Structure formats: structure tokens, C-alpha cells
Amino acid sequence: MDTKALAALLFPNVTKTPEDMEALFPARTLPEGAVVSRMAPSPTGFVHLGNLVQGLTSERMCHQSGGTLFLRVEDTDAKREVPGAVEVLIESLKHYSILFDEGATVDGDNGIYGPYRQRQRAAIYHVYAKQLVEQGMAYPCFCTEEELADIHARQEAEKANYGYFGKWAVWRDRPMADIEQALAKGMPWVLRFRSTGSLENKIRFTDLIKGNLELTENDIDHVLLKSDGIPTYHFAHAVDDHLMHTTHVVRGDEWLPTLPFHLQLFRALGFKPPKYLHIGPLMKMDGDSKRKLSKRKDPELALTYYREAGFPVASVYEYLMTVLNSNFEEWRRQNPDAPIDSFKFSYKKMNPAGSLFDAAKLRDVSKNVISRMSTDRIYEETVAWAKDYDTALYEHLTADEPYAKAILAIGRGGKKPRKDFAVLGDVRPYLDFFYDDWFTVTDSYPDQFEKADIKAALEGFLKTFDERDDMNVWFDKIKRVAEGLGFASDMKAYKENPDAYRGNVADVSMFLRVAVTGRQNSPDMYAAMQVLGRERVLARIEKMIDSLK
Ligand code: GLU
């Protein structure tokens, strides 16, 4: 077979050579040891937590080593693509502030190794496809869907392995005349790899996460170019990661079975393969057993889930770090206020078997993260979230910014900040009582207390209330009211002899709390009254007194 003639026949318009390509994509000038990696998601319209796990791992490795991270849109599978998916993808990665140094952006490409969208790179793949044909390492296959289905059925009947290989690879050794004839008829064709691998042979390979592996060679003549001239993932992966000078490929371990083929392909093309890190899946407990998170069953797999629920980006990051690096939590305990970037991430601490996703743990981590935010930060986070997901909250918070910030400042700062919020969706039920149009009394007074006592306590408080009092004076006044009504002001004395009193000062505080906040549990009541201001406090207590008549 004259493979040069075949190559010319299949790719009449390809005039460029692999050398031309090498010149177009020159080596990067980066410091020794710098990692070049990429996120290479497919725009399916669904961005999932696994994308973020992969992105975060790549991002840390690149930026901790002074390297480069880029975004490449793997849009070779047009059938799976939904309109607008590329924008959705880029936008959600942006929301999670994965900092790309180059690649696809909503406003086009940024960087000299582009295009960064694979469908726009068709001409580049064809240069290498032509070379493989010239070298006898690839050939056209004109099988129709029906023929392939028939091969599959016969393999099934014979209990043979599935796939296009050996005697089943009916176009592998066809004479030139057959090919010319098929082309002349305009029959669609795909380009296949001519595998020389055998299932008898094993290859040894070291994955940076999974460790040393022994894998069976690939004997299938996989498709390199589909009939529309667009490459398969495999071929595009080899060409792009070579030309873009990727040093480390971080991807899901669902790609491990095709790794032997990828390595074959790199060799056939004369490329040095990158280092690989295959990440295990995210799993969850289902009853007593673990299973992979599934798109169909688990809404928490979708990134939109976290955004809608109001997990701040920082919380999701912090949680993923605890999942990815086993030593992160200890580091965080020792460095509670350090920026997350100062943690030394290492792929060596990743679990080869995959990680367990734990929703309760995420909430805990998030509570800590939010509790450490400054008032300005939690305000901004909440406003940004509410703008999209809770318009009424957005309007309340922005109508009077100083008031909203004063509310959010309660219990913030200091050694033991309050941990009221796991998600930004928790903010509204926490602070709604500060707004008169939202305020309602939701908790009632426990039956054990006499209405008359409650009313007397509220009236007593009103008589001496002065919003300029400091907390001690304010509380002393409540104690006096308690004593005047036969409630113990000293908890120790009360505990020693509860029957001697009608109740205690905590009960009196609760009477006030329900009147002013509408509930038995609320943020610090002194601070709350300071923020509410004299008018509101008086009005609410008076209203409660009226209702007790
Ligand atoms: N487009 C592939 C995917 O979304 C990328 C895998 C890779 O990173 O190489 O699974």
C-alpha cells in the first residue's frame, strides 16, 4: 500500500506539516518544575462537583509551582452539546474563581496556544492525521452503523471481545482500489488507528495518584477522526496536550481504561506523554454502602446546587480541600485565619480510591468559614446571593446598608464567633425579625408562666429602659425587674432552691426576647435591642403588653 498516496487522497487540503505545527506552538518559557495543566471540560450544560475537584487540583498544582493553567473547551461531541453550554461552563468556573492564565473566555480566546475550543482546531488535527496515514498508522474505515452493529452481534454470538480489531477490522488491510471506490461513491468514513497492541501484553505505568499500575495493552483500532472530520477525545487529547505543552493531565479515573490507547497514540505521534493524575470518583454513603454520586439521583452533584443553596465559594473550596488533602483539617486548626492559598496542597495526599462526599460535613465547614468572614464580606456575599435567589431579602438588605451591616455584625469577630449560617439561605430566617414588615411573634410563652407575670415584667422593663445603658447596666435592670416579681436574679440561688421563686432572670429575659424578637432563641438580645433602636423595642413590647390583656 502506498500510504503517502492514501494520505494525499484522504487529506487533499492539508498542506501544513507537523513541523509547521511545532513552530506555531513553541515551548513555554517557565521556571524549572513549573506545572502546566488544564481544565478540559465538555460543554454538556451540566457542570459538576467532579469538574471542580479536578480544576482545583490542577489549579493548585500550577499556581504553587509558578506554572500555567488554561481552559480548553472539549466540544468535539456536538451531539451532547446544548446551546449556551459553553457560556454556562465558563461562567460557572468563573463563579468558583478558578483562575485561568489562558484559554477560552466568554469574550473569546486568551493566549497563544489557541484556539482553545476543539472544533476550531480541526485543521490542526488533520495535519497529524495525515502524518499517521503516511506512516501506515491510521487508515480509513467505511463501515456503516449497520455493519458495525452486525459485527457487534456476531461478536456477541461468538462470545468474542467487542470492538474493531483483528479479523473484525474489515477495512484495516483493504487494497487502495476499494478505498478509492468508496471515496468515489462519496461514502462517509472515519479514520482509525492501526493498533499493534495485544491483550497478551501488559504495560507498566505510574500514575501520580493511583501509583504503579499494570494495564493491558490496547488492541482496538479506535476512531481518531469521526466522519465529519472532528477528532475523538483520544486523538484531540494527544494532539492538544502535546501542542499546548501540558505537563500534567488531571482527570477522572473513568479515563484509565483508555490510557493504554492514549500512550500508544503519543508514541505513534512521536510525542512525550504528560504525567497523569487520575482522580477517583466522588462517592456518598447510601445506607451502609458507598456509591458514586450520580447525576440522576444526587442533586448535590451539580454545581448549581451549591450556588442556589447559598454556599459561599469559599465554603465549597474549604470543604473540597478537606476532602482532597487529608492533612488540610489539621492545618486549618493550626491556622484558623490563614488564607486558604497558603496551605501547601499536595497530590500525594489524595485518596487513590476517591473521596466520600458528606453533606453534613460541608455544612459544618461552611459554618466555620462564614463565621470567620468580616461583616462587610458576609454582607456582600449575602447581597450577591439574594440578588439572584431572594429578591425580598436583597431589597431589605440594600435599602439600608448600615442597618443590615449592624445586624450582621452581631456576634461576629472575636475568638468565638457565632456559627449561625451554613448557607446564605440561613440569613433571612435569622434576621427577619429586625425588619418590621417581616416581624411576627412565632414562639408563644410556655404555659407554666402566668400572663400577669409576663405583663408585669414587660412593663417593669419599659419603665427603666434606656438604650444608652451599657450591657451590664441593662442586665442589672432586668435583674431588678425579676427580683421585684419574685423571680430569682441569681441563678445559683435559684438552682439551690427553685421552689422559693416564681422563676428566674433567664425566664424574664425570655419574656422580653419573645416580645422583641418574636422567638425564644435569637442572637444576643442586648446587641439586638441596640440595633433595633429605642422606637422599635418600645413599640414591640407595648404591643405584646396589649395582647396579654
Ligand atoms: N473532556 C473530558 C471530560 O470532560 C476531559 C478529560 C480530560 O481532562 O482530559 O471528561
**Cα-based distances in Å from 140 to 3, 244, 345:** 11, 27, 46
Q: Which parts of the chain have pLDDT scores under 70? A: none
Closest Cα to residue 250, out of 47, 45, 59? 59
- Cell numbers 425580598 correspond to 392
- What CA–CA distance (Å, rounded) separates 151 from 137? 23
Report the pLDDT value the prediction gives residue 32, as an integer from 0 to 100: 94
Position in ligand 1 atom list of the atom nearest CA 74: 1
Task: Specify whether the CB–CB gap between 269 and 239 falls below 8 A.
Answer: yes
Distance in Å, CA 214 to ligand 1 centroid: 22
Q: Does the CB atom of residue 109 touch ligand 1 within 6 A?
A: no
Report the pLDDT value the prediction gives residue 361, as an integer from 0 to 100: 95
Q: Does the CB atom of residue 42 touch ligand 1 within 6 A?
A: yes
Report the pLDDT value the prediction gives residue 89, as an integer from 0 to 100: 82
Report the pLDDT value the prediction gives residue 456, as an integer from 0 to 100: 96
Per residue in 226-266, pLDDT tens?
999 999 999 999 999 999 999 999 999 999 999 999 999 99
Report the pLDDT value the prediction gives residue 143, as an integer from 0 to 100: 98
- What H or E segment, with its residue span, contains residue 122? helix 122-134
**Grid coordinates of 509:** 429575659
Longest dimension (CA), the chain: 110
Q: What is the 3-state secondary structure (H, E, C) of 173-207?
A: CCCHHHHHHHHHCCCCCEEEECCCCCCCCEEEEEE
Q: Does the CB atom of residue 426 touch ligand 1 within 6 A?
A: no
Distance in Å, CA 295 to ligand 1 centroid: 17
CB within 8 A of 390, min separation 6: which ones?
A: 425, 428
Report the pLDDT value the prediction gives residue 86, as an integer from 0 to 100: 81
**Taking the mean position of all CA atoms in its chain, how far away is CA 48?**
6
β 275-279/289-292 pair status: unpaired
Report the pLDDT value the prediction gives residue 81, as an integer from 0 to 100: 76
Report the pLDDT value the prediction gives residue 306, as an integer from 0 to 100: 94
Does the N-terminal peptide bond of residue 115 adopt cis geometry, omega within 30 degrees of 0? yes
Q: Does the CB atom of residue 38 touch ligand 1 within 6 A?
A: no
Closest Cα to residue 225, out of 379, 117, 121, 360? 121
Q: Does the CB atom of residue 237 touch ligand 1 within 6 A?
A: yes
Q: Which residues pair with 104 in a beta bridge?
A: 109
Q: Does the CB atom of residue 89 touch ligand 1 within 6 A?
A: no
Task: Specify whether the CB–CB gap between 67 and 102 falls below 8 A.
Answer: no
**Using the 8-state DSSP alphabet, how is residue 400 labeled?**
T
Report the pLDDT value the prediction gives residue 88, as an integer from 0 to 100: 85
Distance in Å, CA 255 to ligand 1 centroid: 8
Distance in Å, CA 132 to ligand 1 centroid: 23
Q: Does the CB atom of residue 292 touch ligand 1 within 6 A?
A: no
Per residue in 416-436, pLDDT tens?
888 999 999 999 999 999 999
Report the pLDDT value the prediction gives residue 195, as an integer from 0 to 100: 98
Distance in Å, CA 40 to ligand 1 centroid: 5
Distance in Å, CA 39 to ligand 1 centroid: 8
Position in ligand 1 atom list of the atom nearest CA 39: 8
Position in ligand 1 atom list of the atom nearest CA 241: 9
